[in-house]
Amino acid sequence: MQPDEQALCFPCDGDWLTAVLSPIGPGALARRGVLIVVGGPQYRAGSHRQFALLARSLAAAGIPAMRFDYRGMGDSGGAPRTFEDVDLDLRTAIDRFIAAVPGMREVVLWGLCDAASAALFYAQHDRRVAGLVLANPWARTNDGLARATLKHYYLARLLQPAFWKKLASGRFDVRGSLGSLVGLVRSARGGAAPAAQERPSTAPGPGLRERMLAGWQGFRGPILLITSGADLTAQEFLDMVKASRPWQKLLADPRVQRQTLAAADHTFSRREWRDQVAGWTAAWVRSW
């Protein structure tokens, strides 16, 4: 029988943060826990409760897990802020997490989308962060988005029989699609920004990719990189890696393990995908 989850509330520079802790069984000890960092327009339960279910799954596997809302999100107080400005929130949450679990000494940060990027920025500055799980990291620039869309979405669609069937049956919006294709080509060549965005987040500040690279280079612990095959954010990240020697070198390092879910979308929106991600995470956290 799993112990009940605990609701926590703690201050962060004058605002109150809300968190839920999934503890492990009584008498069990864990040196390492997982702090789930929430990315995108979500709060701590996650899209389709992904983070609530992930935390429960980890706790059942003997790994304490905590998830929380940073300032301005979900139930936490304060003004909204972007993923590029959550270092203090992360530090405060790690403090509270470690205080709540006797015997726990270190944490793995688990982040999806821009939370993966936020985890990369933070990790090297806190010795208690032992490892990182980065799922579909957010490395967006408008230019990169256009390239990823062209390459992965349009080309893939042209190869699908269903696309041609739809076209023949008149159900395909030719004008709209061609219009966005033209915009993308322009943008990929360095012209105007595309109007359509897959998941428009806060505009990336200058040097997002450089900061991510510096964060990865500065962090010494193991990293698990999980990417979805049917996700432009992941494809954009991988395109960036392919086009960059320093990134390729980092990903080739033996401390980096990679897993890919070919059919999955950005948020792993099926039970089998969620379970696979939770299984990989638990096995990896216990493997070192």
The residues binding other proteins (CB under 8 A) are 1, 4-9, 11, 16, 18, 20, 41-50, 52-53, 72-77, 80, 160-163, 165-166, 199-201, 230, 267, 269-271, 274
Residue among 80 and 190 whose Cβ is closer to other proteins = 80
Residue among 80 and 206 whose Cβ is closer to other proteins = 80
Q: How far is the CB of 28 from other proteins (least distance, A)?
A: 18
Residue among 167 and 243 whose Cβ is closer to other proteins = 167
Residue among 4 and 210 whose Cβ is closer to other proteins = 4
Alpha-carbon distance of 156 to 127, in angstroms, equals 43
Q: How far is the CB of 269 from other proteins (least distance, A)?
A: 4
Residue among 11 and 218 whose Cβ is closer to other proteins = 11
- The SS3 call for residue 239 is helix
Pairing of strands 129-135, 106-112: parallel
Alpha-carbon distance of 246 to 262, in angstroms, equals 25
Q: How far is the CB of 7 from other proteins (least distance, A)?
A: 4
Q: How far is the CB of 78 from other proteins (least distance, A)?
A: 11
Alpha-carbon distance of 144 to 190, in angstroms, equals 10
Alpha-carbon distance of 180 to 115, in angstroms, equals 29
CA 121 to chain centre: 13
Decide: 155 and 135 in contact? Cβ < 8 Å.
Answer: no
Residue among 169 and 287 whose Cβ is closer to other proteins = 169
Lookup: tokens for 190: 């360095």
Lookup: tokens for 48: 């389709």
Q: Which amino acid is at 228?
A: S
Residue among 16 and 106 whose Cβ is closer to other proteins = 16
Dihedral sign, Cα of residue 100, residue 101, residue 102, residue 105: negative
What DSSP character marks residue 151? I
Backbone angles phi, psi at 159, to 5 degrees: -90, -5
Alpha-carbon distance of 215 to 127, in angstroms, equals 14
What DSSP character marks residue 195? S
Residue among 32 and 140 whose Cβ is closer to other proteins = 140
Q: How far is the CB of 16 from other proteins (least distance, A)?
A: 4
Decide: 258 and 225 in contact? Cβ < 8 Å.
Answer: yes
- The total of other beta-carbon atoms located within 10 Å of residue 148's CB is 25
